[in-house]
Amino acid sequence: MGHATLEAWVDEVVRLTLPDAIEWCNGSDEESARINGRLVSTGSFIPLNAEKHPNSYLARSGPNDVARVEDRTFICSRDAEDAGPTNNWRAPAAMHETLRPLLAGAMRGKTMYVVPYLLGPPGSPMAKVGVELTDSPYVVANLRIMTRMGEPALAALGETGAFSRGLHAVASLDPQNRYISHFPEENLVVSVNSNYGGNALLSKKCFALRLASVLARDEGWLAEHMLILCLTDPQGRKTYMTAAFPSACGKTNLAMLIPPPRYRDAGWKVETIGDDIAWLKFGADGRLYAVNPEAGFFGVAPGTSYRTNPNAMFACSTNSIFTNVALRPDGTVWWEGYGGAPPDQLIDWRGRPWTPDSKTTAAHPNGRFTAPARQCPCISPEWDRPEGVPISAMIFGGRRASVMPLVYQSWNWQHGTYVGATMTSERTAAAAGTVGELRRDPMAMLPFCGYHMADYWRHWLEMGRRGGDLMPRVFHVNWFRKDAAGKFFWPGFGESIRVLIWIAERCRGSGPAVESPIGWIPTVASLDAADLGLAQAAADALLRIDRDEWRAEVAARETYLKSFGDKVPPELLAENAALASRLA
Ligand code: OXD
Ligand code: MN
Would the pLDDT of 434 be above 70? no
Instruction: Tell me what pLDDT residue 78 has.
Output: 98
Nearest to 13 by CA among 269, 236, 192: 192
Instruction: Tell me what pLDDT residue 238 has.
Output: 98
Say how far apart CA 201 and CA 28 lie, in whole Å.
Answer: 19
Say which amino acid occupies 385.
R
> Which residues are tagged catalytic?
249
Say how far apart CA 584 and CA 579 lie, in whole Å.
Answer: 9
Say how far apart CA 82 and CA 452 lie, in whole Å.
Answer: 5
Could you tell me the CA-to-CA distances from 296 to 8, 35, 69, 324 in Å, in that order?
A: 30, 19, 22, 18
Nearest to 174 by CA among 268, 104, 72: 72
Could you tell me the CA-to-CA distances from 210 to 182, 216, 222, 278, 342 in Å, in that order?
A: 8, 10, 11, 13, 39
- Per-residue pLDDT averaged across 114-120, rounded? 98
- Per-residue pLDDT averaged across 224-237, rounded? 98
Q: Measuring from atom 2 of ligand 1, which residue has the nearest CA? A: 247
Nearest to 149 by CA among 296, 299, 283, 353: 296
* Predicted confidence band of residue 528 (pLDDT cuts 50, 70, 90): confident
For 86, list phi and psi in degrees, rounded to 5: -95, -5
- Per-residue pLDDT averaged across 105-118, rounded? 98
Pocket test of ligand 1: the residue of 276, 324, 366, 448 to mutate, having most ligand atoms within 8 Å of its CB, is: 276
pLDDT tens for 253-311 read: 999 999 999 999 999 999 999 999 999 999 999 999 999 999 999 999 999 999 999 99
- Per-residue pLDDT averaged across 523-543, rounded? 88
Say how far apart CA 472 and CA 31 lie, in whole Å.
Answer: 43
Say how far apart CA 513 and CA 520 lie, in whole Å.
Answer: 6
Instruction: Tell me what pLDDT residue 325 has.
Output: 98
- Per-residue pLDDT averaged across 390-410, rounded? 96
Atom number in ligand 1 closest to CA 198: 3
Instruction: Tell me what pLDDT residue 563 has.
Output: 96
Would the pLDDT of 472 be above 70? yes
- Per-residue pLDDT averaged across 345-364, rounded? 98
Which residues lie at CB < 5 A from ion ligand 2?
247, 276
- Per-residue pLDDT averaged across 553-568, rounded? 96
Cα 500 to averaged position of ligand 2 atoms, centre (Å): 21
Tell me which residues have their CB closer than 6 angstroms to ligand 1: 68, 197-198, 247, 276, 298, 430
- Per-residue pLDDT averaged across 201-225, rounded? 98
The model's pTM: 0.97
**The 3-state secondary structure of 53-93, one letter per residue:** CCCCEEECCCCCCCCECHHHEEECCCCHHHHCCCCEECCHH
Task: Kindly state the greatest CA–CA separation across the chain.
Answer: 71
How many CB atoms are closer than 10 A to CB 108? 11
Sign of CA dihedral 13, 14, 17, 23: positive
Instruction: Tell me what pLDDT residue 530 has.
Output: 83
**Percent of the chain, pLDDT > 70?**
98
* Predicted confidence band of residue 474 (pLDDT cuts 50, 70, 90): very high
How many CB atoms are closer than 10 A to CB 555? 12
How many CB atoms are closer than 10 A to CB 482? 14
Say how far apart CA 237 and CA 254 lie, in whole Å.
Answer: 19
Contacts of 175 (CB under 8 A, 6+ apart): 64, 65, 69, 72, 193
Would the pLDDT of 1 be above 70? no
* Predicted confidence band of residue 431 (pLDDT cuts 50, 70, 90): low
What structural domains and CATH numbers belong to the chain? 4-220 (3.40.449.10), 224-296+380-583 (3.90.228.20), 326-363 (no CATH)
Would the pLDDT of 2 be above 90? no
- Per-residue pLDDT averaged across 515-519, rounded? 98
CB–CB of 349/64 below 8 Å? Answer: no
* Predicted confidence band of residue 210 (pLDDT cuts 50, 70, 90): very high
Helices marked H in 229-333: 251-255, 261-266, 310-315
Say how far apart CA 76 and CA 74 lie, in whole Å.
Answer: 6
pLDDT tens for 46-60 read: 999 999 999 999 999
Could you tell me the CA-to-CA distances from 407 to 424, 478, 496, 524, 561 in Å, in that order?
A: 15, 6, 10, 11, 23
Would the pLDDT of 422 be above 70? yes
Instruction: Tell me what pLDDT residue 497 has.
Output: 97
Please report which ligand is nearest the Cα atom of 297: 1
Say how far apart CA 221 and CA 506 lie, in whole Å.
Answer: 25
Instruction: Tell me what pLDDT residue 430 has.
Output: 65
Instruction: Tell me what pLDDT residue 247 has.
Output: 85
Instruction: Tell me what pLDDT residue 432 has.
Output: 65
Cα 246 to averaged position of ligand 2 atoms, centre (Å): 7
- Per-residue pLDDT averaged across 198-206, rounded? 97
Would the pLDDT of 457 be above 90? yes
Cα 247 to averaged position of ligand 2 atoms, centre (Å): 5
Please report which ligand is nearest the Cα atom of 430: 1
Cα 328 to averaged position of ligand 2 atoms, centre (Å): 28
Lowest mean pLDDT, pick from 96-100, 315-319, 424-428, 549-553: 424-428
> Angle, nearest 10°, between helix axes 547-562 and 570-583?
160
Say how far apart CA 9 and CA 159 lie, in whole Å.
Answer: 14
Say how far apart CA 240 and CA 394 lie, in whole Å.
Answer: 9
Atom number in ligand 1 closest to CA 197: 3
Average pLDDT, the chain: 96
